[in-house]
Structure 1
């Protein structure tokens, strides 16, 4: 039986027209994506997104609007599940308390699971900034809207 993996991500754009991205290391690989992650059983999309931002970024966000939901087949890079990703435009409720890096994969510390954050100017955003096909597609949608 095939499994579905529902993911939810936030597109956080600051006043300088930069978007927040996440560099991560997990499952023995490094990847760049938008902040967010897997929906947990029993939670709704926006509830899951808010939880993910608290867990990953120590930040409370307000969901502004739906941006995109996967409308093509995406197989997980980590298992045999089909990925369904939902992206929302979000804004932070309070100032972010994050260490912002300028170099990809500039992690503090060591371990199996690592994460760091960067801002990328929307005008400089490229599909190739992201590892996974769905994030690349969403980056293209953002680029086309600019």
Structure 2
């Protein structure tokens, strides 16, 4: 049986015009995406995004504005669901207390997630894994690039 898989992600851009990426390993797959994840039943989008940032980044965020919602069909890479992803521009309420990496998939021992910054001017669709994220990268480049 197919179903909708609603996901919510935060686009966090720091004062150096760098975007926060999340490198992860789950279900035997390595992938790069933006911080965030699946909405829980009975949860609103903003509350879900704030919960995901607390779970993944141990960070409280402020949601600035809606940025993009998936407007094409995307099947999940992990199950039979249709993925619907909503992206928001966010800012951290206080500095992030994470161990930032400089290379992808540089996991600390016992972890299956790591974080790194990438300059928006250097960002390409190849930096992220899934089709929706690639679309968001193109939109981010058009909106925030210094070129």
Question: What is the TM-score when the length of structure 1 is the normalising length?
Answer: 0.97
Equivalences for 1:15-94 in 2 at 5 Å? 15-94=15-94
2-side partners of 1:27 and 1:110: how far apart? Answer: 15
Uncovered stretches (5+) of structure 1, i.e. residues with no partner: none
Equivalence for 1:6:
6
Compute the RMSD of aligned alpha carbons. Answer: 0.8
1-side partners of 2:110 and 2:52: how far apart? Answer: 22
Give, in angstroms, the shift of residue 49 of structure 1. Answer: 0.1
How many pairs align? 144
Q: Could you list the per-position Cα deviations for residues 24-50 of structure 1 after superposition, in whole angstroms to 9, with x for gaps in the alignment?
A: 001011000000000000110000000
1-side partners of 2:83 and 2:4: how far apart? Answer: 6
Question: What is the TM-score when the length of structure 2 is the normalising length?
Answer: 0.96
1-side partners of 2:80 and 2:29: how far apart? Answer: 17
1:126 aligned to 2:124?
A: yes
Which of 123, 128, 135 is the matching residue for 2:133?
135
2-side partners of 1:127 and 1:68: how far apart? Answer: 16
Give, in angstroms, the shift of residue 71 of structure 1. Answer: 0.5
